């Protein structure tokens, strides 16, 4: 027996900034709004909108607050999500290069930077949202309640790392995002910023499916952190959907706990449970891992699932022993911690030093030339999951085993034949006299005779 496939995807909002811009005439500096317009000018030229679906099945759009956002196509393998996510980075980096060239043509100059982080210089937060397809059940609320403590404590492995300014000085912590969350679950995404968004948008057959929309995680730069973040969550979801319960780990005050956990790099601060017990984030994650291992015992696991379990265990061992070198090429917070400490040792800079702040921004800059990630990968200081060839292919090719293939093939055919079309996660439509529309409700279906007929109807 093996684990059933699960549809997974990730949506990443990017920070945007311009440095070195000089207007031909006096005026205010280039802000995020104007920079975003330059960034999406090329998209609007060919897509007639700043909200488009791509040939790889993913979605590219401009979100609230002038944040470029890329949503991966549906994947039934978390490794595929990593590849598609990196393809989104490559697509957006090309747009940033194009925007920089357009600024130069307009006599403004400067360079557009896209940052895969979660907080800007003004303290405004933006997110990385995870999506997991669930079977629709009446006990959704109970399922979500059980998952909240997992997401509160997961950051000790999957946080991006951050410097927090306090009255007592600057300190290093696990997560950028945790300081900006206020509810365990809510239908809002900007006002109250919950851990889990409860809005019921399955993007599939509503009688069969419901989507778990997690908005509390940090954006991951390291591919291995993305893999662990999605993979460990998918494994726990399989356990919970099988009927096993983890509600003995419910937290009395999850929103206080999420901050306490982020601020304690030892992961040993005791958290109060509803049961009256007290457990640290480290102990709770060890408990989740132990239960997942028991649940999957005797199953035939794929290599990616084995990799997730191994990294999960090793990450916890690194925290238990204090030997962060066990994961300092794989987990963002540990990679960044090593980077900062080496820089501080060589420069004498404190955590609050502006040079450290610039170093942290460079870590999240997706540019291969201006950012640090590509340099770290090249030197073996940041582990890889996806190959360059896979990332390049994923820029224009959708996952082949999910509904994304139908969408990607339709978009590619419509673009090549210059046919006006409208696409969302479930609809494919030709905007001609026929107004032919196909509703694709099954996220697992990678073939559909109706879509083939729709593509054929476009003509050569």
- 439-450 in b/e burial notation, b at 16+ Cβ within 10 A? ebbebeebebee
Partners of 53 in beta bridges: 59
Does the annotation flag 38 for ligand binding? no
Q: Among residues 63, 80, 332, 448, which one is catalytic?
A: 63
CA angle 303, 307, 310 (to 5 degrees): 135
CB 159 within 8 Å of CB 179: no
- The 3-state DSSP class for residue 130 equals strand
CA gyration radius for the chain? Answer: 22
The stretches of 301-382 forming alpha helices (DSSP H) are 303-321, 332-347, 354-364, 373-378
Sign of CA dihedral 378, 174, 75, 439: negative
CB 65 within 8 Å of CB 126: yes
Q: CA 47 → CA 43, 55, 72, 249, distances in Å? A: 6, 12, 18, 48
Cβ atoms within 10 A of the Cβ of 8, count? 24
User: For residue 145, what are its two tokens?
Assistant: 């309640």
Measured in whole angstroms, the distance separating CA 400 from the mean position of its chain's CA atoms is 21
Does the annotation flag 72 for ligand binding? yes
* φ and ψ at residue 14, rounded to 5 degrees: -110, 140
Does the annotation flag 11 for ligand binding? yes
CB 164 within 8 Å of CB 179: yes
Q: Which residues make Cβ contacts (< 8 Å) with residue 425, sequence separation at least 6?
A: 59, 203, 407
Active site residue 63: yes
Does the annotation flag 425 for ligand binding? yes
Instruction: List the one residue out of 11, 154, 4, 171 whose CA is nearest residue 81.
Output: 11
Does the annotation flag 363 for ligand binding? no
Instruction: List the one residue out of 78, 458, 9 whose CA is nearest residue 303.
Output: 78
Q: Which residues make Cβ contacts (< 8 Å) with residue 277, sequence separation at least 6?
A: none
Cβ atoms within 10 A of the Cβ of 128, count? 26
What does the alpha-carbon distance between residue 436 and residue 373 come to, in Å, rounded to a whole number? 45
* φ and ψ at residue 319, rounded to 5 degrees: -75, -40
DSSP 439: E
Phi-psi category of 89—alpha, beta or left, where left has phi over 0 and alpha has psi -120 to 50?
Answer: alpha
Does the annotation flag 74 for ligand binding? no
Residues within the annotated binding site for Mg(2+)? 11, 61, 69
Residues within the annotated binding site for ATP? 59, 72, 425
Q: Which residues are catalytic?
A: 63
């Amino acid at each position: 027996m093996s684990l059933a496939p699960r549809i997974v995807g990730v949506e990443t909002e990017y920070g945007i900034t311009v440095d070195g811009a000089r207007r031909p005439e006096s005026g205010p500096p280039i802000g995020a709004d104007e920079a975003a317009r330059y960034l999406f000018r090329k998209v609007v030229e060919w897509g007639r909108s700043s909200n488009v679906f791509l040939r790889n099945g993913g979605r590219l759009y401009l979100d609230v607050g002038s944040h470029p956002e890329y949503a991966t196509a549906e994947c039934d393998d978390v490794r595929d999500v990593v590849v598609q996510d990196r393809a989104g980075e490559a697509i957006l980096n090309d747009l940033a290069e194009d925007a920089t060239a357009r600024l130069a043509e307009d006599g403004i100059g400067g360079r557009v930077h896209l940052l895969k982080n979660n907080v800007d210089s003004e303290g405004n937060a933006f997110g990385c949202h995870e999506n997991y397809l669930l079977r629709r059940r009446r006990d959704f609320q109970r399922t979500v309640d059980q998952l909240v403590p997992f997401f509160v404590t997961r950051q000790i492995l999957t946080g991006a790392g951050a410097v927090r300014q306090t009255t007592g000085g600057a300190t290093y912590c696990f997560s950028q995002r945790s300081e900006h969350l206020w509810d365990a679950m809510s239908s809002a995404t900007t006002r109250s910023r919950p851990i889990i968004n409860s809005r019921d948008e399955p993007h599939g057959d509503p009688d069969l499916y419901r989507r778990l929309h997690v908005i509390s995680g940090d954006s991951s730069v390291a591919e291995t952190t993305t893999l662990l973040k999605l993979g460990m969550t998918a494994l726990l979801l399989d356990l919970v959907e099988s009927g096993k319960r983890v509600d003995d780990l419910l937290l009395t005050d999850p929103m206080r706990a999420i901050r306490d956990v982020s601020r304690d790099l030892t992961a040993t601060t005791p958290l109060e449970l509803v049961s009256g017990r007290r457990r640290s984030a480290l102990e709770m994650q060890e408990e989740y891992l132990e239960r997942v291992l028991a649940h999957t015992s005797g199953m035939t696991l794929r290599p990616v699932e084995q990799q997730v379990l191994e990294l999960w265990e090793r990450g916890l061992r690194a925290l238990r022993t204090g030997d962060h070198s066990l994961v300092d090429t794989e987990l963002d917070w540990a990679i960044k911690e090593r980077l900062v400490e080496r820089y501080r040792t060589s420069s004498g800079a404190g955590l609050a030093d502006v040079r450290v702040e610039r170093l942290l921004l460079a870590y999240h800059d997706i540019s291969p030339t201006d950012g640090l990630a590509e340099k770290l990968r090249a030197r073996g200081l940041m582990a890889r999951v996806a190959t360059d060839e896979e990332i390049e292919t994923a820029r224009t090719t959708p996952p082949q085993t999910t509904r994304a293939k139908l969408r990607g093939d339709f978009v590619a055919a419509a673009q090549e034949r210059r046919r006006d079309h409208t696409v969302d996660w479930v609809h494919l439509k030709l905007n001609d006299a026929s107004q032919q529309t196909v509703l694709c409700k099954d996220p697992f279906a990678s073939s559909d005779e109706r879509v083939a007929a729709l593509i054929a109807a476009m003509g050569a």
